[in-house]
């Protein structure tokens, strides 16, 4: 058996990202097929403990200590560097070893591994703060919320599991502006989670679309609607510095005023995308992960606002998850239910997107997938040619 595991490990060292994801899913299915009832009890029964212990490890800097040194450390060394009682640290580390967050190399000696390193990344810290301090609250109320609503598919964004969890009537994004540290975690996570080689700019023909001579310095070239702190705008301007036209970041005032990047060649404008679009006739209106935060009637309003601002050659670029018709993966299915709990929204298939687009008089011309493993796709949406 050890030989089989060694062969799998050797294969994984040269496998690409998609293959590794598939291998992980297959191995987890195999593990689950071998699990007895006691194992299932404790795997699900201790889920919240695992989350709590990860938070404790991050708070204390345990993972950074273990990855910041060459070779293993003793329990006492880790305890001293984190100012924790040695007996308590021993209990922490032996638990982390059981969930493969650290590796026990001998009695009382531990070292970091791949997951330890992952837990020190800035994007992960922001993401887990977002999930643990905000999203997990709505998970706890989903059961009672859905039961009280007769297990109907939610469509009312003013009454969701989020609202019950935090005893509020305001929209989650408005609520975050009232809790700035949570908004900071969210914006940091959204900005850093993108990988440079997994971008819509690697597949969409921006230069070809702007080659007809319709661009001038005073026309808007690229408007990032709901663009957060502006990393997409900065990437676009850096990639196409020679194409004339204005590059514009739009988001709510709290984000623009507190966090927006000051990027040369990028204009930062406060705008609520449920209000009429103030920038008329842009070549590209782009939004990343915006419509999936809203139920169908709100997406229609959002699309209609942009439609009314479009010129004949304008393109609405919607960069979103596009679910396959079968075999939806764990991450996409989890985010789908997270959208349900927060916004009464959902992840969508291409047919779902097409129905929404056509309902407001637009046309989904083509989809460009740039990250197949996560179903990330940019959709090219235009006014019908007869318009």
Please report which helix (H) or strand (E) contains residue 364, including its range: strand 363-371
Domain boundaries, the chain: 35-118, 122-192, 203-382
| Alpha-helical regions (H) of the chain | 2-14, 17-34, 37-45, 47-60, 62-67, 75-82, 86-98, 114-118, 122-130, 136-148, 161-166, 172-177, 180-192, 206-209, 231-239, 253-258, 296-307, 330-343, 350-359
Decide if domain 35-118 falls under CATH 3.40.50.150: no
Closest-CA residue to 284 (of 350, 353, 369, 207):
207
* Cross-strand pairs, 319: 288, 378
The Cα–Cα gap between 345 and 223 comes to 24
203-382 fold = Rossmann fold (3.40.50)
pLDDT at 197: 65
pLDDT in 10s for each residue of the chain, 387 residues: 778 777 887 888 888 888 888 898 899 999 999 999 999 999 999 999 999 999 999 999 999 999 999 999 999 999 999 999 999 999 999 999 999 999 999 999 999 999 999 999 999 999 999 999 999 999 999 999 999 999 999 999 999 999 999 999 999 989 998 999 998 898 888 877 766 568 999 999 999 999 987 899 999 999 999 998 899 999 999 999 999 999 999 999 988 988 899 999 999 999 999 999 999 999 999 999 999 999 999 999 999 999 999 999 999 999 999 999 999 999 999 999 999 999 999 999 999 999 999 999 999 999 999 998 889 999 999 999 875
292 catalytically annotated: yes
Q: What is the pLDDT of residue 190?
A: 80
Which residue in 129, 130, 292, 294 is the catalytic one? Answer: 292
Which pLDDT score is estimated for 366? 97
pTM of the predicted protein model: 0.87
Going by the DSSP 8-state scheme, the letter that residue 224 receives in this structure is: E
């Amino acid at each position: 058996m050890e030989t089989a595991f060694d062969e799998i490990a050797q294969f994984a060292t040269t496998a690409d990202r998609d293959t590794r994801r598939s291998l992980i899913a297959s191995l987890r299915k195999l593990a689950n097929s071998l699990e007895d009832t006691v194992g299932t009890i404790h795997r699900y029964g201790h889920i919240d403990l695992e989350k709590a212990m990860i938070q404790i490890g991050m708070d204390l800097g345990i993972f950074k200590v273990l990855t910041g040194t060459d070779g293993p450390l003793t329990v006492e060394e880790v305890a001293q560097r984190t100012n924790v009682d040695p007996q308590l640290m021993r209990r922490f580390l032996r638990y982390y070893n059981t969930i493969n967050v650290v590796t026990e190399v001998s009695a009382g000696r531990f070292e970091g591994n791949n997951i330890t390193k992952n837990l020190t990344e800035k994007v992960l810290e922001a993401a887990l703060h977002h999930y643990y301090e905000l999203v997990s609250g709505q998970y706890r109320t989903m059961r009672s919320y859905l039961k009280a609503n007769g297990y109907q598919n939610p469509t009312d964004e003013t009454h969701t599991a989020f609202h019950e969890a935090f005893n509020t009537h305001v929209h989650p994004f408005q609520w975050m502006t009232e809790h700035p540290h949570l908004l900071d975690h969210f914006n940091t996570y959204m900005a850093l989670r993108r990988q440079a080689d997994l971008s819509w700019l690697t597949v969409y023909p921006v230069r070809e679309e702007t080659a007809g001579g319709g661009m001038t310095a005073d026309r808007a070239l690229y408007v990032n609607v709901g663009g957060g702190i502006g990393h997409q705008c900065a990437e676009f301007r850096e990639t196409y510095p020679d194409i004339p036209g204005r590059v514009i970041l739009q988001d709510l005032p709290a984000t623009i005023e507190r966090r927006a990047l000051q990027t040369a060649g990028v204009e930062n404008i406060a705008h609520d995308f449920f209000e009429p679009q103030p920038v008329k006739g842009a070549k590209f209106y782009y939004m990343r992960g915006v419509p999936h935060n809203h139920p169908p009637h709100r997406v229609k309003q959002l699309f209609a606002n942009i439609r009314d601002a479009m010129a004949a050659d304008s393109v609405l670029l919607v960069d979103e998850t596009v679910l396959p018709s079968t075999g939806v993966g764990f991450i996409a299915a989890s985010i789908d239910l997270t959208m349900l709990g927060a916004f009464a929204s959902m992840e969508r298939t291409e047919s779902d997107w097409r129905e929404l687009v056509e309902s407001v008089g637009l046309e989904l011309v083509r989809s460009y997938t740039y990250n197949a493993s996560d179903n990330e796709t940019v959709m090219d949406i235009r006014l019908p040619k007869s318009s």
